[in-house]
Each structure stands twice: as C-alpha cells, then as structure tokens.
Structure 1
Amino acid sequence: MFEKVLVANRGEIAVRVMRACGELGVDTVAVYSEADSDAGHVRYADEAYNVGPARAADSYLDGEAIVDAGERAGADAVHPGYGFLAENADFAARVEDSEMTWVGPSSESMEQLGEKTSARKAMDAADVPIVPGTEDPVESADEIREFADEAGYPVAIKAEGGGGGRGLKVVEDESEVAEQFESAQREGEAYFDNASVFVEKFLESPRHIEVQIIADHHDNVRHIGERDCSLQRRQQKVIEEGPSPALTDELREQIQEAARRGADAADYYNAGTFEFLVEDNGRNEDGLLGADADFYFLEVNTRIQVEHTVSEELTGIDIVKQQIRVAADEELPFAQDDVELDGHAMEFRINAENAANEFAPATGTLATYDPPGGIGIRIDDALRQGDAIGGDYDSMIAKLIVWGTDREECLARSRRALAEFEIEGLTTVIPFHRLMLDDEAFVAGEHTTNYLDEELDPERIDAAQERWGPEDSSADADDEEVTKREFVVEVNGKRFEVDLEERGAPPIGAGGSGGGSASGTQQLDAAEPSDDGDGGGSASTAEGEQVTAEMQGTILNVNVEAGDEVAAGDVLCVLEAMKMENDVVASQGGTVAEVAASEGESVDMGDVLVVLN
C-alpha cells in the first residue's frame, strides 16, 4: 500500500478521496490555487502545495506543476478525482513517467475510451450497441448537414474529449448547424484542450443508465450495479438514483453485461462508468422497460463519477478505496456474485444556483450551513459555515446521499433531509429538489432526459423557489467581528498556517469555496452602467453604455469589434463562469465604442466588457 497520495483536485471530491486514504492509513497531499488557500480540501490534507493562480488553466489544469508538487512532497501516487485532469490521458502519462503511480486506468486506455469516436469503435467491435453516428471527427458544418440529411434532425454534436454535458450541442434544424458546430468546438477546446467533434443521432426521450465498473490488474472485472441519471437539465445530471425505477431485471442484466463485456474487451482496469441511453419506446404492464427495449452505448467515463456514492450506498463497497488498492496492484476482494444491491439510494447535488433564474450560478458566503443527519443520510462536502463560494470554479456546495429500504422510503427520507438542510447566505437548488420529490412524473419514475427542459412548467420552479428559498441571500460575513486571524505562509511553495488572536481587530472576509459539476448555457443581459465607474481590472475611459460582467469568469469568445453596429439581444461576448457558458447580450442597440475584454481573459464581477454608443 502507498504511504502518501497527492489528490489532484479540490472541493468535496478531494476530501472524499482523502477520507478513503485516511482509513487506509495513507497520508494526503493537497494542491491548491491562490483562490483556494483556505479551502476545505486544503484544511483537511496532511500537507498542501500552491500550484498557481486562480484561473484553473494556470493551476488545477497545470499538469507539470501538479507532478512537481507530488515529487517535492514525496507522494507515491496521484488520484485525480473527477473533473479537471481526471480524464486527461496526457496527464496520466506524465504521472506514469514519474516515480508516482496513477490511480486510474492506463493512459493508453484513457486515450482510447476518452475520445468518443475511438470508444464507439471499440464498443462496436465488442458487440456493444452504439448510437448511429460518424466514425471519425467531422471537419466542417457541411459534414454535419450531410449526416443530418440521412439520419434526420435532431442530431447531437459532441466534443471528442467531452463529458458532463460540456461540449455537447443539440441541433434541431439546418439553420443551427454552423453556430452549434463552432460552440461545441469552442467548449471542447476550453474544457478538454481538444476542439475535435463528432456527430450522432440525438435520441429525444431516452433514459440515461450507467453501470459502475471496477477492474484490477489480475483480469477481474466487476460491475457494481447501475444508476439512473435520467433527470437532467441540458444534458447535466441533477438527481441520480439506483437501481433504476424504469428497468426490468432482464433489461438491467443485459446492460450490465454489455458494460462488463466492453470493459473486458478494452483491457480496462480501475474504476470507470459505462453510460447507456435506453429508448423509452414502450413499457410492459408494470410500466417498466423490458428486455426488447433498445439501448445504446453513450460513453465511458474513465474516472470516478460524481454519483459514485449511489452505488456505494447500495452495495457497501467503498469504490475510492478499491481504486487505491487496485492502483497498488491488489486483487479485488469480492466476486461478481458477492455484489448485491440493498434498498434504494439517491444523490442530490446541492449547488449554489438559482433554479428560478435558469439555474444561474450564485456566489456568497455560507452564513449558515447546517446539513441534515439521521439514519440513511450521507453528506459529502468540503465547506463549513463561514466559507465563501466565488466564481472561479463550479457551484457545488455538497452532495446529499439518501438511502432507504425501497424507493418509497428513500423518497420520504429525502423529503425530510432536504427540509432539514439549512443554508443561508446564498441561493441554492434545494427548493428545486424539494419540488421534484413531489413531482408526479419523477415520483412515478416516468421521467426521461428531456423532462426538465421540455415538460416541467417553469412557473412551478418559480413557486418552489419563493416557497422554500431564503428570504435574504445577501448575508455578508464582513459584518461579523473577527478576533482570530489565520495567516497562510508559503515556503518553497508549501503551505503553512499561523493563527493569531487580536482584540478589537477590523473584520476580514472569509475564504474557501466548494467543489462539483454543473454545466449548461444561459443568457445574461448587458449590465447597466457602473455608478462609480470602477469596474476593477477592465476599466474603460470611453463614454457610453458600459456592458459589465455580472459574475466572475473567463471570456471564451468576443463577437464584436469597435465600430460594429449591434441590436438589442445581439451576443457581444461569451463568458464562462462555474462551467457554464453565458451569452452576454446587448440590452439596447448602438455602435460598439470599445471592446475592453479579450478572449482567454479572466474578469471580475463589474469589469467593463464592451462600451456602446
């Protein structure tokens, strides 16, 4: 077994991995950006190293800096968690070339299965059904049009290295092809450093079923049941559960066996998830999808999943511990017949988002953070009361995992837990989750992947937010007196903490931020002119209507130049914040007097982006 593991991530998943290491008697090393110097995963780790500034591309995505930190710390292995570099085959190879062990599948396997087109070819060769689509990446919008003319609309354009809904664009008709092609390429480049995309037929109302796989270096391949991730918003999972309430045992076994067959054919080891789409094309007399239902391979996630907790609650198997043991060349301690699913489990992503405002990310300080407890309740988090969530990363505060003896008890226990979950200081999706637990289609297990986007009445979300949302989400930790100060000192990049106590000290702000995944696209109206004219790092001297950033983020694309004429509603630029691509649009027509932001630039809330006359 290893003596020390570096966790190449942040937030709740970093703490989750560190907890598993602690139970195995393994020391942990955290890496952190300048924005995360007091984050929960840094506080939890045995030691921590600064790997760069707030911008993820310069810190958490800097593979060279992370490997260097691991070598300086004397780490034996690197666990990537999920997100960031977790599915980056080049980073895995960099770790493999060092003296450290990569906790995951081989870089060759990651490269084969991480690229969607090669994964489709591998699964097709293993007799795993695949969605009709292109075998190779497409180079132009015309190729997409040609495929759509044959297969019919809608079609899905997907980033080859994509996942979690990022880099995926649904095209409803020919007029959208060029714009969505460019958008998918842009997201693929921004999130996965790979602008290649392919196209496949878009299944409009499927169930999203995934199978958890764990395999070792001794030719043992196990599945740990399936999870149903059909409740989604813009291809981003919202609530996950297991077992699926929509499948017969016969269909369940077919899908699980297909996953095992695919993993075996790809010589896959360590943890992974094989995802499938199941056509909701007719149910039996019990309202379930039977063995004759069509299902198709979607992708392989060559890492631990956000929702791995569901499978752990159903089986009692600690998947993260098994990852570490497999990486240490140990043999899996259980046979396939030993894997039994007990009861029902659900996971709720507690994100700092306003569901009544297109799930827009929210920032603020956790003035109150009091999660629920009791039998069947698990909380995975890294935040504590007083911590802040900024706009540098994603919006996850915690994951609430609920177990019950059956789905009915799990639903009832989930209602109780969400009602107990008290968060003040910012807006969360808890009211939305409470709405879904009373929603007829979800409670009956009849929802499909398009239910939230196309069928749920948005007014019901507004009403839920008004009923269960915080009365005032503008609490400011700066109003609180602070007598204890924590100073962070770095020596050769290694972090040390010094606590001092002062009487009558002026207040200081709280730090820290949370971890997880949300994805999607929203539209932001151009902000009104700043009252004080001080927009921070992107100050402008031009007169006119100042379009400012409504949140902290990174400029992905600038669509206008000085002198351009624009109309109200035109997209001026695209701002990425908390893994969401936001169109910044003009609130009125005019002439572009100045473009104050550039592609790739990090901006703060209030920074001037464009000036209109």
Structure 2
Amino acid sequence: MFRKVLVANRGEIAVRVMRACEELNVGTVAIYSEADKDSGHVRYADEAYNVGPARAADSYLDHEAVIEAARKADADAIHPGYGFLAENAEFARKVEETEGITWIGPESDAMESLGEKTKARTIMDDAGVPIVPGTTEPVTEPEAVKEFGEEHGYPIAIKAEGGGGGRGMKVVWDESEVEDQLESAIREGEAYFDNPSVYLERYLEQPRHIEVQILADEHGNVRHLGERDCSLQRRHQKVIEEGPSAALTDELREKIGEAAREGVAAADYTNAGTVEFLVEEDPDRDGPLGPDANFYFLEVNTRIQVEHTVTEEITGYDIVKRQIRIAAGEELDFDQDDVEIDGHAMEFRINAENAAEDFAPATGGMLETYDPPGGIGVRLDDALRQGDDLVTDYDSMIAKLVVWGEGRDECIERSLRALREYEIEGIPTIIPFHRLMLTDEEFVESTHTTKYLDEEMDTSRIEEAQAQWGGKTESSAADDEDVVEREFTVEVNGKRFEVELEERGAPAIPTGGDGGGAQAASPPQPAGDSSGGGSAVEADGETIDAEMQGTILGVEVDVGDEVDAGDVLVVLEAMKMENDIVASRGGTVSEIAVEEGESVDMGDTLVVLE
C-alpha cells in the first residue's frame, strides 16, 4: 500500500479521496491555486502545496507543477479525482514515467484509446457493443458534416474527442448551422481539453442516459456494479442521478451491464471507469423498457464519476478505496455474482446557481449559514463550511447530497426531508429546484428523458420554487473589511519557511513613513495592470459588459463592424461553459476592450457599440 497520496484536484472530490486514504492509513497531500488557499480540501489534507495562480491552466492543469508538488511532498502516488487532469493521458504517462510515483487510474494507453471517442467507438464496435451511427475518424471540414447529414439526416452531434458532460458538443439542426457549430466545437475542445479533434454522431432526440460502473484489476478481472440513470440533465449537464434505473427491466439491465464488461475487457482497461449508454425511450411504454429496447454505446469515462456515490450506496463497495487498492496491485476479491443491488439511491448536485435565472452561476458570496441535513440514509460529500467564501473560478458545484432508501418511493420521501433540512444562506443554490423535481410527475414516474428540462418543463414552475424556497442569498458581511497581511520567517527542524498571515479587522501596521506618522501597510500589488480584466474604455456609446467572471475564448468582431441585435460579439468561458455575449441592439463596434485569453470580472466592459 502507498505511504502518501497527492490528490490532484480540489473541493469535495479531493476531500472524498482523502477520506478514503485516511481509512487506508495513507497520508494525504493537497494542491491549491491562489484562489483556493483557504479552501476546505486544503484544510483537510495532511499537507498542501501551492501550484500557481487562480487560472486553472496555470495551476491545476500544469503538469510539471503538480508532479513537482508530489516530489516535494515525497508522495508515492497521485489520484486525479475527476475533471482537470483526470482523463489526460499525457499527464498520466508523465506520472507513470516519474520514478517512485504511481498513477491511481487506468494506464495511459488505455486512457488514450478509450478517452478519445473515435478510438473508443472502434473498440466497442469490434467487441460487439452497439454504437450510435457516426464517424470513427476526426472531422475537420464542414463538407464532411454535410455529407454525414445527407446520409443519416439531421440533427447531428459534433463532439470534441476529449469532451464529456456536454462540454465540447454542438448540435447541428440543419445545414445552415454546420460551419458555425463545427468551429465552436473545435474551439471548445481545444480550450477545455487541449484537443481540437471532433467527430460526428446521429443525435438521438429522446434518449435516456444510462451508465454502468466498472472495476477492473491488473489480474484480468472485470466487474460491473450495476447502472445509474442520469437522464435528468440541463444542457447535457447531469443534475440528479439515481440507481438502479426505474426505467429498465432486469433483462435489459443485464444486457447493458454485460456489454459494458465486454467492451472494457476488450480494451485491456484497469481501475475504475464508467461506460455510458443512450437508451431509446418508448413514449408509449407501459412499464419498464424490455430487453428489445435499443441501446447504444456513448463513451467511456476513464476516471471516477461525480455520481459514483450512488453506486456505493446501493452496492456497499467503496469505489475510491478500490481504485487505490487496484493501483497498488491488489486483486478484486469478489465475483460478478457477488454484486447485489440493495435499495435505491439518488445524488443531488448542490450547485451555486440560481435555477430561476437559467441556472446562472453565483458570482461570489459567503456561506453565512451552512447547516447540512443528517439522519438515516443521508450522506454529504462537501468541502465548504460556514463562513467560507465561495470560489467562483471553477465549477459551480459546492456539495453532493446522496440519499438512500429501501425503494425508490422511500428514497424520494427521504430526499425531500433532507432537502428541507439543508439550510444555506449567503449564496443561491439549486436546492429549490431539487425539491420541485421530487414532486414533478415526469420525474416521479421516471418517464423523463435527457431533453425534459431543456425542452418540455414549464420554467415558471422553477421560478415559483426559487421564490418559495430560495432563502437568503446576499451576504451581509462587510466587503470593505480591512485585511492586513503579515509576513513571518519561521524555522522548523532546521528548515526555514516564509509564512504569510491574513488578519481581518486588524489595526494597521505602523511604518516609518515621512513625518513619523503611522501608516497602513499596502497589500502587495500584482505585476502589470492592477485594474483586472478589461482595459480602460474611451469611446462613447453603449457598453456590453461581462455578466460573470470568466476567460475570453474569442472576439468575434472588429472595430468598425456593423452588428445587429443578437449577433455574437464575444465568447466567454465561465464555470467550464461557453457563453455567447450578444448585441442587445444594432450598431457599430467603436471599441473592443478585451482580447482572447484575457480574464475578466463581472461588470468589466467588453465591447462598446455606437
């Protein structure tokens, strides 16, 4: 077993992995960006190392910085969690090639073959697993998309090779959209996954999203731990996950599980992974879908999933501890027939978003009140505590509420109770939305598909739920509270450390200024322009401002361009989503205040129109 594991992630998943390490008597190491220096995963770890500034590309995604932190800490293994570098085969290979450090995950070659969607489709097709009609080679030209549309019809899904969870996927509804959507998918793939390759699939309009949890060791054993139903999605982002699926018969469930096992075995895959499928819904069905229902391979997630907790609750297997044991060379100690499904579980992603405002992410705030629920069958995976500031540089998920019941009905009832108990003030969350869904007829009857939230549900119901159960979302803490930074040099066991301490509301530090009067010490200023994103605006006219903090992915106009209302001016990445900033009216672009790659804050001016 390992001595010390560095967790190359943040937030609740970092704490989740560290807890598994603690139970295995393994030391834990956190990494953090400057934005995360006070975050919960840093508090929980045995030791922590700064790997760079807030921008993920300069910290959590910096291969060398993460590996160097592992060296400094003398860690002998790295666990990537999910997101960031978890499915980056290049990083996994670098860890494998680093003497004395083990990668806790699938081998880099398997990650590469299954992580890239076209290769994965080929492997699954060869293994006899049904696949959605699509391409097995990357697509670069609009003509290839149009030819695919002529053969298979529209709509078409353009998907980034390294994408997942709807990121890097664009839907083309007719030929007129081909060029724009292809360019956007390529750009998103490059920006989020450092991989511009995209491929095509026939877009299934009313599917259910079913995924199978896999564990595979280095001794040839492959097991599946049943399925999860992740059909409740918003813009292809999962919101509520559950297991087992109420929409499948046992016969169909077994067919899908065995297909997942066979496909993973054919890829020589080890460690934990998830095989995702789309199952075509029958709108006229009376009862669960039978063994004749169509199901298609979607992708393999070569990592732990956000919703792995659902499977843990209904099988009793600690998947993260199994990951660590497999990486240490241990053999799976159970047969497929030993896997039993006990009861029903649901996971609710507690996102810092306002569901009534199209799930707009919170732009800041402090958890004035944080009082999570408890009781039988209730599990919380989180990292924040009361009084913590919300870090908005990354994903909007702040916690996961996982509820178990003997059956689906009890699980829903218990979930409603737990959500009513869950008290958060200071930031908006989607708890009101979750409470609404647990009384929604489509969800309760399990007849919803992946399109239900985006295309069918009456959004006024969400607004009513937010108004009724939203609670207090504005922090009353004084934003202008004085913060004094003090620097100390300390020595521990002969080793010197430079330590910076922040003191809020502290008296000013006396300095020897002119005239002998005491002066407050100024906090250190960053190099370059200290005004933040967006340059000074000189032109007169209507300003188009950033509605959230993010990074500029592209500027779509030039000074002097004539634009109409609805035209895209700037593409802004925020909370890992690509957002088009459009003109509210027609006019002429008189000034552009940002450039590609620049970080902006909410309220920064992007473009001026005359």
TM-score over 0.5 (shorter chain): yes
- Amino acid across the alignment from 2:545: T
Matches within 5 A, 1:317-356: 317-356=317-356
- Report the CA distance shift for 1:347/1:299 in structure 2 as closer, same or farther (over 3 A): same
Out of 585, 607, 612, the position equivalent to 2:609 is 612
| C-alpha distance in 2 between matches for 1:353 and 1:82 | 21
Per the alignment, residue 122 of structure 1 pairs with: 123
Measure, in 2, the Cα distance between the counterparts of 1:328 and 1:478. 49
- Name the counterpart of 1:450: 451
Task: Give the deviation of 1:600 after TM superposition.
Answer: 1.1
Q: CA deviation at 1:484?
A: 11
| CA distance in 2 between partners of 1:359 and 1:574 (Å) | 18
Secondary structure of the corresponding residue to residue 147 of structure 2: helix
Q: How does 1:86-101 map to 2 (within 5 A)?
A: 86-99=86-99, 100-101=101-102
After superposition, residues 288-437 of structure 1 pair within 5 angstroms as: 288-363=288-363, 364-437=365-438
Letter in 2 for 1:71: R
- Matches for 1:131-210 after TM superposition, within 5 Å: 131-210=132-211
Gaps of 5+ in 2: 510-530
Judging changes above 3 Å, is the alpha-carbon distance between structure 1 residues 536 and 128 closer, same or farther for their aligned structure 2 residues?
A: closer
Aligned to 1:69: 69
After superposition, residues 558-577 of structure 1 pair within 5 angstroms as: 558-577=555-574
Cα RMSD of the aligned pairs, angstroms, is: 2.3
Aligned to 1:541: 538
Q: Structure 1 CA distance, aligned partners of 2:69 and 2:188? A: 28
Structure 2 vs 1, CA of residues 497 and 308 (structure 1 numbering), >3 Å: closer, same or farther?
farther
* Structure 1 residues 120 and 540: CA distance shift in structure 2, 3 A: same
Which string of whole-angstrom CA distances, capped at 9 and with x for unpartnered residues, describes residues 426-455 of structure 1? 111111111100000100011111111111
* 1:493–1:324 CA distance, 2 compared to 1 (3 A): farther
**Alignment check: 8 A CA contact 1:283 1:289 kept:** no
CA contact (8 A) 1:4 1:29 kept: yes
Cα distance change on mapping 1:208 and 1:489 into 2, 3 Å:
farther
CA apart distance, 1:281: 2.9
Please tell me the residue identity of whatever aligns with 1:300. V
Residue number in structure 1 paired with 2:42: 42
Q: Contact between 1:82 and 1:304, CA under 8 Å: does it hold in 2?
A: yes
> What do the CA deviations read for 1:129-166 (whole angstroms, capped 9, x no partner)?
00000121111111111101111111111001111110
Structure 2 residue aligned with 1:2: 2
Query: Is 1:50–1:495's contact at 8 Å kept on the other side of the alignment?
Result: no
Does the CA contact (< 8 Å) of 1:232 and 1:238 recur in 2?
A: yes
The runs of 5 or more residues in structure 1 that have no matched partner are 507-533
The alignment of Structure 1 onto Structure 2 pairs a total of residues equal to: 584
Q: Secondary structure at the match of 1:388?
A: coil
Answer whether contact 1:557 1:574 (CA < 8 A) is retained.
yes
2:212 aligned partner: 211
Q: 1:19 to 1:542 in 2, by over 3 A?
A: same
Residue pair 2:9, 2:60 contacting (<8 A) in 1 also: yes
1:568 is displaced (CA, Å) by 2.3
- CA spacing shift, 1:255–1:589, aligned 2, 3 Å: same
The C-alpha deviation readout for 1:565-587, integer Å capped at 9, x for no partner, is 12222211011111121111122
Q: Which residue of 2 aligns with 1:102?
A: 103
Q: Distance in 2 between matches of 1:52 and 1:463?
A: 42
Given that residues 535 and 593 in structure 2 are in contact (C-alpha distance below 8 angstroms), is that contact kept between their aligned partners in structure 1?
yes
CA deviations 1:9-61 (Å, max 9, x no partner) are 01110110011001111111111111111111111111111111111111111
CA contact (8 A) 1:483 1:505 kept: no
Using the size of structure 1 for normalisation, the TM-score is 0.91
- Report sequence identity in percent: 70
Residue 594 of structure 2 corresponds to: 597
CA 1:58–1:108: 2 relative to 1, 3 Å: same
Q: Which residue of 1 aligns with 2:576?
A: 579
Shift of 1:461: 1.1
For the residues of structure 2 that align with 1:168 and 1:536, how far apart are their CA atoms?
28
The answer on whether the counterparts of 1:50 and 1:493 sit within 8 Å (CA) in structure 2 is: no
**Whose radius of gyration is greater, 1 or 2?**
2
Q: TM-score of the superposition, structure 2-length normalised?
A: 0.92
| Letter of the 2:330 counterpart | E
